[in-house]
Amino acid sequence: MLTWVIYDIVDTKKRTKVAKFCKGYGLYRVQKSVFLGRLNNNQIDELAMRCGDIIEKEKDSVYVFPMCDDDFKKVKLLGQAFDKKLVSDEILAKFF
């Protein structure tokens, strides 16, 4: 399932760790604190738990949004959108 991970984390080390988690699951960075890619339900749960274990819940936020393909096709991209080099052809094909 296509999954967006969006975060706002105060501590640089923790923010870097969450980014590494996302990359480790094969997600593509589409903005500084936004990742996108395909994850199964177990991977979504695992990633959410790993992030939840390191963030400070009083200061930080991590959003994990699963999205079906039909809804993803409705996403509007304005301005620069994604750096095409960072996103797989499979995901780009849905936009163009």
d(CA 83, CA 35): 12
- 5 close to 62: Cβ distance less than 8 angstroms: yes
What tokens does 40 get?
């199964």
pTM for the predicted model, two decimal places: 0.80
For every one of its 96 residues, what pLDDT tens digit does the chain have, with 9 covering 90 and above? 899 999 999 999 999 999 999 999 999 998 899 999 999 999 999 999 999 999 999 999 999 999 887 887 777 777 766 654 454 555 545 544
Write down the residue that tokens 């959108």 correspond to: 81
pLDDT given at position 25: 96
Three-state DSSP state, 64: strand
According to the CATH classification, is domain 2-92 in 3.30.70.240? yes
